[in-house]
Structure 1
C-alpha cells in the first residue's frame, strides 16, 4: 500500500472490489499521479478540495479539517463505512501514515479494524 491508495476521505482503495478486480478505478486518487486521469475532470468535492486545490494526500493534512463542512457532511452520512473512514482519518492524524498503512494492509475491504 502507498499513500496514494488512501482516499482523501479515509477510504483504503487497494481493497476496493473495483480496484482489486483490475478495472480502472474511477474514485479517490488513483490514476492522477501517472496521467491516466485528468484531475480537472474530477467531480468529488472532497477530492477537488483536498487533492486538486490544496495538494494534500488526505483531509487529515488540512489545518481546517476540524471545521470543514465538505468532509464533515460526508463522514456524517448514514452508513457504517462513513464512520470507519472518519476513524481512519483520525488514526492517521494521531499516528501517521506509516502506522496506518501497516494496519490497513491487513484489511479485506476499504475499511477495517483499527487497533
Structure 2
C-alpha cells in the first residue's frame, strides 16, 4: 500500500492485478526519473497532476473549479462519482486515512 497506488483522479490502483504484477506503471511511475515522457501522455488529469508535482487532484488548490477533473467526474458512470468521493475524502482526511480504508477494497473504489 503506497501513495503511488492512488491515481491522479482518485482511483485506488492498489487492487489492480496488472499494477501488482508490475506490468502497468499506473499514472505516476516513471515520470520523475525520465523513463516515461509526460508529453506523450494522453490523460489530461495525469498531465496536469505530474506537471504540478502533485500526488493527485486532492492536492490542487484549483480542484473545485477545475473543468478537466470535474468533466471527468461528471461522466455518466458510478465509478467516476466514486473517484470524486475518494478525492474529496483525501482532501478532508489525508492519504494515510484513505489508504487504510482503500486497502480493504476489491476494486478501484469502495465504501468508507
Q: How does 1:31-110 map to 2 (within 5 A)?
A: 31-33=30-32, 35-51=34-50, 53-110=51-108
> Quick one: distance in 1 between partners of 2:98 and 2:19?
19
TM-score (norm 1): 0.87
User: Within 5 A, what are the aligned runs for 1:10-29?
Assistant: 10-20=10-20, 22=21, 24-25=23-24, 27-29=26-28
Size of the aligned set, in residue pairs, is: 112
Q: Give the CA RMSD over aligned residues.
A: 1.7
| Structure 1 gap segments, 5+ residues each | none
- Mark the runs of 5 or more structure 2 residues left unpaired by the alignment: none
72-81 or 24-33, larger mean C-alpha shift:
24-33
Contact 1:8–1:58 (8 Å) recurs in 2: yes
The offset of 1:37, in angstroms, is: 2.9
Greater than 4 Å deviation, 4+ residue runs: 33-36
User: 1:13, 1:28 within 8 Å by CA — same for their partners in 2?
Assistant: no
